[in-house]
Amino acid sequence: MRNKIKLFFILFFIFCFQELYNNNQELTDNANSSFIENFIKDYGFKPRDRYTHEYNSAILNKTSISLDELENTLRTYNFTLSGRIVLTGYEEQAFPSYFYRFKNPQINDEAQSKINSGWTLKLHNLFGFLTGFLFKNINYYSNIWLKDTDKIIEHIDSNDIEIFDNQANIIHEHAFSTALNFMSNSEFEILKNLKQQNYKKITTELIKFWTTLYDKDVKVGGYKSAATQDILFSIEYANHILRSALPLIKWFVGPDITYPIETSIIQSGQATKHAQKFTKIMYDKLTPIAKKPTVYIFCSFVDGVGKSTLLGNIKNYSKYNTNIENYERVDNSSSQLADLFQLKENVFIADLPAQVSHFTYKPDGYVYVNIGREKDFDKKNIEDLESYVLNNKENLEIIFNQKINLVKNIINKSGFLSPELNDKKEAQNAFIKNLILIKKLETNRWIGFSKDNNEYIFNKFNPTEIRILTPLKIVQSEGLKNIESEQMLFLKGIKFPISYNNFIEDLVTKLKSQNIENIIFVDFTSMYPRSSRENVRINYLIQQLCLIDKNFDPELSMYRNFISDSELLALLQNKDNKEKITNALELETLTRLSLLNIINKQDRSDLHGIKFENLTPEIIIQINNIEKVNKDKLKILTQEKVKTESINLDKLYGKTKNYLNIQQLSLSNLVLFSKYLTNLYSNNILNEELRTLWQEPDFFANKEKINTFFSLNLACKDENLLTPMIIQLRHFWYSAIINLYNAKVINSEYLRLDNPVENITPLFLNYGLSNKICLIQNIYPKYEKLYYQDDDDEENNNKKNKFDYLKNYFFKYKKPYIVNINDKKYISFDKEYEATNIGAFAFDNNNSKIAKNKKSAVTFVVQKYKKNKSADKVITTSKLYKKLKKSYIWEREHKKLLKSAKKLLQKNSAQKKSDKKDELQNSKLSSEKNTVQFGNPEQIPVLQLIIRLLATVEMILKDPDAEIACRFNNKKDFKATVKLLENVTLPNYFGIIYENKLFENYDTVEPYPSWAAWENLL
């Protein structure tokens, strides 16, 4: 009997344990499922969302509750909660200045990097600046309506922000675009509630404003999205303030008011004038209540709002007053415990960690930062270091390359987590390890070296650009914002938060130790770029993801260093890239969930960091423990998310200039077309002089005989770098193609061309060194006259008269450079190429304000289409042609052209002289302006070829500022482009028109040489 009872209890215990385990497992499964759903739902797919993925709903809810809990807990300890001060800073440089400010010092520490594709975007906080705009008149109306009362809201230096000028309506419309009306309505509501001193309603109006920005994805000038994911935390912080019963004592708004005040070689004191002014105001505001010990609790929802930096500024002001050259560097360590500091008699400041930091991780270590930011480096120190690098750069690079081989051997033998690669004493090894880990070694331009117990890197292409390795704890904000992940060495590990209860107990203990009676909350609701502390987390995450999955590539993830807003859409159009981006999102979600689970399962009481070598295996275990059902769910959600965002991005950027004219541009496709055109002239034209002229030079064998106009990385997507090359190449290709005008088609393979429209020397595109493409040309001796002047010889004059019409539009040079080839004048290039987005190069469209001729039908259609659209939007050729056919202006214009041609035909038919008849048969173009005539039917085959070639150019190479676009490999657009060239360009700029169609079936018209040559290309 006793054994049966014993067995019963054992079985009962097992049952209870199993039930408990099952319940706990079910809770874990549900929590994992909830995180996955919320994280994917909230995940932002714009470059500006790079730093906001930490701010997901799962963390948002916990943070929000913890703020309420903080206030309630402090009340239970009998502290008097006396009120709150709200600080709402915004980034002054979020919108570019519309005024000349070259000599005006300004903060310029937003991360930007030169990569193969161009300069990366500076990820400013737009919605913060828009919020500042709502308060631009707050001081003025406060002085009128509340002159006899304390002014609760104060806007620091609002008059210094030029764009806030109430008379600058045109600037407002350009900067804020369609968002301006919505902003004006919100400003009106804020001012209305200011008059009634209803600050709760002002907060409510801000919540409404931010919510609309986010939900409707409001766009500002340049069609940029004003809302990023972190706006959710601004909304939730404001909701907490609304829920709180604490009275509002003061509300400060202003530009960069909590930015760290310091001077360095590259930043003058004047750059932080707003912060200097505000620090004094705030210092004076920090007074004890009833002369009793009072603590001002500095708190915030997120990192990077200037909380610790304002504390540093106040400490420095207290110590050095306005002598900012003596200010000490602000501590960026961002502790996870409260830092209590006595400022004055009975005045204390408690600097709390950001609330979100109680539920996330904090990487710690070192970063390479510009030596000009170092306070300990004066001008002579920098000059000496620059001189050392310049004198030793070759040897330093050799030593560094030797270290690369050493690190590769260690990785092959012991892996990336080897202690030899994660030691501060071997910082260069850690840097090289990162380069290999995140797949940056091939594109790296930084060379590491040691000198005088410091670690440095210098840019091998610009050796005077030197960075020094500095602890994250003391680095200036530019260092925190370094977006080159490999340059952050997390050798101090990853710090996880202590439990929230332990944090509050520690805070209460510290307050009681100073006999604190009164508490005033100072809420940092600033909306600066999330590019400081969050950038550190992202750089860590990139390295961590690479350690977990060797297939992860940052360049095919949302942590790519984007150079434009539309670049992601271009990536997603490629099937392989889209799959890798989807996999990257899936991996990121699993990793973030695992990190959160590690935090939740630990009840830490210490703040020591966990090293990569210990944390990485733990994360992998956590990922493996996530249930299959949730992993399957995640796979579906990520695929749906990427699909949905691809559609959204296409709606947003799919018909923008940057996307169609720049992002879809393939330099390798241009090389291919260059070879097709070269082959046409060198092999298919029956003219030995032209064949010889068009023989492509050997770039590597004859460098001294070649002029290189441009040399660009194959991945280049920088509009500033591409534009001059595109314009020169379009001019040349149009000229070379139109030079075929007088050719005779012999058969399907050969043409005879005895008399080109103009003698021009060919340009060639080819591959050079280091995966670059080069636009090159053979060097020829100069013609005796440097600039082109008309000769009086009969041959030249006959040629000139014959092709006047074409020369007036396609061979019009401002400053042509003339060379001598076989005692003939050839135009080599123009020193001042005109834009190719108007007139003859743009289907007769000209939206230029300096256009002298009256508007064409095409211009009318384009302007009407773009009337309520962003300036960056284009009209596709298929859309344009469809609208053109319905345009009565075009119908009238086309009939007029036909009528003109018929009149000229009748006039010439009346001529009896044989030389006039011969001229008509030879399709001589009238030099009379705007005269059009019927083309010679014998010329149709060559015109068909010219149109196919020009349509191919429009498909692969568009002017960056073109308002009309033929999308690559879009057959509908290509067909319309052919028709536009035939019906618009030919009569208006060639001077010829045909009553019948040039092609029997436009659906069968192919680009040059064929669709098969282009269809499988990107």
* pLDDT tens readout for residues 147-160: 878 899 999 999 98
**Confidence at residue 872, expressed as pLDDT on a 0 to 100 scale:** 86
Name, in order, each residue with C-beta under 8 angstroms of 273's C-beta and a sequence gap of 6 or more. 157
Lowest mean pLDDT among 176-185, 539-548, 615-624, 738-747: 176-185
- 608: buried, middle or exposed (CB in 10 Å: 19+, 13-18, 0-12)? exposed
| pLDDT value at 541 more than 80 | yes
Per-residue model confidence (pLDDT) at position 6: 62
Range from 48-62, 92-106, 677-691, 893-907 that averages highest in pLDDT: 677-691
Cα dihedral sign, 565-570-576-578? positive
Q: Do residue 956 and residue 821 come from a single domain?
A: yes
| pLDDT surpasses 60 at 789 | no
Would residue 709 count as lying in a domain? yes
Q: How many CB atoms lie within 10 A of CB 707?
A: 15
The pLDDT of residue 21 is above 50: no
- How far is residue 755's CA from residue 769's CA, in Å, rounded to a whole number? 37
Whether residue 101 is found in the same domain as residue 117: yes
**Do 641 and 689 share a domain, yes or no?**
no
- Residue 223 confidence class, pLDDT cut points 50, 70, 90: low
Domain identity same for 752 and 691: yes
Mean pLDDT of 842-867: 83
pLDDT exceeds 90 at position 225: no
pLDDT score recorded for residue 108:
55
CA–CA–CA angle 534, 540, 544 (5° rounding): 140
Q: Within a domain: residue 417?
A: no
**Per-residue tokens: 156:** 């620091």
Is 90 exceeded by the pLDDT of residue 73? yes
676 and 626 assigned to the same domain: no
Confidence (pLDDT) at 480 = 83
Indicate if 678 and 645 belong to the same structural domain.
Answer: no
pLDDT at 454: 94
Residue 432 lies in a domain: no
Local structure of residue 554 (DSSP, 8 states): G
What average pLDDT score do residues 193-206 get? Answer: 95
> Is residue 436 included in any domain, yes or no?
no
Higher pLDDT, 258 or 643: 643
Residues 763 and 853 in one domain: yes
Could you tell me if residue 162 is inside a domain? Answer: no
Confidence check: pLDDT of 448 > 50: yes
Mean predicted confidence (pLDDT) in 84-98: 83
What digits encode the pLDDT tens for the residues 500-538? Answer: 888 999 999 999 999 999 999 999 887 765 455 678 889
Residue in this structure with the two tokens 């930084």, named with its chain if needed = 446
Alpha-carbon distances of 976 from 435, 658, 964, 965, 989, rounded to whole Å:
48, 22, 11, 11, 18
Lowest mean pLDDT: which of 88-102, 249-263, 640-654?
88-102
Over range 63-78, report the average pLDDT. Answer: 92
Neighbour-count burial of 73, counting CB atoms closer than 10 A to its CB (0-12 exposed, 13-18 middle, 19+ buried) = middle
Between 173-177, 616-620, 783-787, 1002-1006, the lowest mean confidence (pLDDT) is in 783-787
In-domain check, residue 441: no
Locus of tokens 């345009």: 887
Instruction: With a cut of 80, say whether residue 880 has pLDDT above it.
Output: yes
- Which residues are CB-neighbours of 708 under 8 A, at least 6 positions away? 768, 774, 775, 776
Pairwise CA distance, residues 910 & 347, whole Å: 104
The token pair that represents 398 in the structure block: 């050799």
CA distance 781 to 886: 53
What is d(CA 297, CA 524) in angstroms, rounded to the nearest whole number?
10
Same domain? For 625 and 727 the reply is no
Query: What is the rounded distance in angstroms from the CA atom of residue 368 to the CA atom of residue 120?
Result: 18
CB 672 within 8 A of CB 1016: no
Summarised one tens digit per residue, pLDDT across range 409-433 is 999 999 999 999 999 999 999 999 9
In a domain, 632, yes or no: yes
Query: Shortest CA distance to 50 belongs to which of 541, 476, 441, 488?
Result: 541
Q: Are strands 494-495 and 114-115 parallel, antiparallel or unpaired?
A: unpaired
pLDDT at 222: 67
pLDDT at 37 over 50: yes
Residue 826 host element (H or E): strand 824-830
Looking at residue 117, what is its pLDDT? 54
Q: Could you tell me how many residues make up the chain?
A: 1018
Q: Which of 365 and 715 is assigned the larger pLDDT?
A: 365
Q: In the predicted model, is pLDDT for residue 787 greater than 50?
A: no
Q: Measured between alpha carbons, how far is 962 from 689 in angstroms, rounded to an integer?
A: 35
pLDDT value at 607 more than 80: no
Cα separations in angstroms, 457 against 6, 214, 486, 822? 72, 41, 12, 54
Give the closest residue to 252 by CA, choosing from 294, 289, 305: 305
Instruction: Please give the residue range of the domain that contains residue 758.
Output: 657-1013
Predicted confidence at residue 265, as pLDDT, reads 66
Whole-model pTM above 0.75? yes
Query: 459 in helix, strand or coil?
Result: strand
pLDDT tens-digit series, residues 810-851: 888 888 889 999 889 999 887 788 889 999 999 999 876 555
Of 5-14, 614-623, 685-694, 868-877, the poorest mean pLDDT is in 5-14
- Alpha carbon 289 to its chain centroid, in Å, reads 48
Interval 340-368: pLDDT, tens: 999 999 999 999 988 888 888 889 999 99
Q: Which of 291-300, 572-581, 800-809 has the lowest mean pLDDT?
A: 800-809
Q: Which one is predicted more confidently, 617 or 834?
A: 617
Per-residue pLDDT tens digits for 114-126: 555 555 555 567 8
Query: pLDDT for 450-507, tens place per residue?
Result: 999 999 999 999 999 999 999 998 887 778 888 899 999 999 999 888 888 889 999 9
Residue 919 has pLDDT above 70, yes or no: no
Residue 157's closest CA among 275, 249, 263? 275
What is the percentage of the chain residues whose pLDDT exceeds 70?
87
Answer with the residue of higher pLDDT: 807 or 82.
82
pLDDT of residue 535: 85
pLDDT average, residue stretch 32-54: 85
pLDDT of residue 922: 46
Please give the full DSSP string across 485-551, using - where no structure is assigned: GGGEE-TT-EE-PPPHHHHHHHHHHHHHHTT--EEEEEEE--B--S-SHHHHHHHHHHHHHHHH-TT
- Where is pLDDT greater, at 116 or 76? 76
The confidence score (pLDDT) of residue 232 equals 80
> Which residues face 609 on adjacent strands?
none
- Is the pLDDT reported for residue 11 higher than 50? yes
Give residue 929's pLDDT band: very low, low, confident or very high (50, 70, 90).
Answer: very low
Q: Specify whether 615 is located in the same domain as 504.
A: yes
| Tens-digit pLDDT profile for residues 325-339 | 888 877 766 567 899
d(CA 847, CA 858): 10
Same domain, 254 and 311: yes
Alpha-carbon gap, residue 317 to 310, rounded angstroms: 10
* Residue 268 clears pLDDT 80, i.e. is over it: no
- Alpha-carbon gap, residue 758 to 210, rounded angstroms: 60
pLDDT digits (tens, 9 = 90+) for 968-1016: 999 999 999 999 999 999 999 998 999 899 999 999 999 999 999 998 7
Q: State how many domains the chain has.
A: 2
Residues 701 and 774 in one domain: yes
Output the CA torsion sign for 269, 271, 277, 278. negative
Q: Is the pLDDT of residue 788 over 50?
A: no
> How high is the pLDDT of residue 20?
47
Instruction: Please tell me whether residues 846 and 971 are part of one structural domain.
Output: yes
Q: Of the segments 43-57, 60-74, 164-178, 575-589, which one has the largest average pLDDT value?
A: 575-589
Domain boundary among 599, 627, 654: 654
- Examine the fold and report which residue of 616, 633, 654 is the final residue of a domain before the chain moves on: 654
Distances (CA, A) of 747 to 582, 942, 948, 999: 51, 11, 17, 18
What's the chain's average pLDDT? 86
Say if 94 falls within a structural domain: yes
**Final residue of a structural domain among 626, 654, 682:** 654
User: Using the 8-state DSSP alphabet, how is residue 267 labeled?
Assistant: B
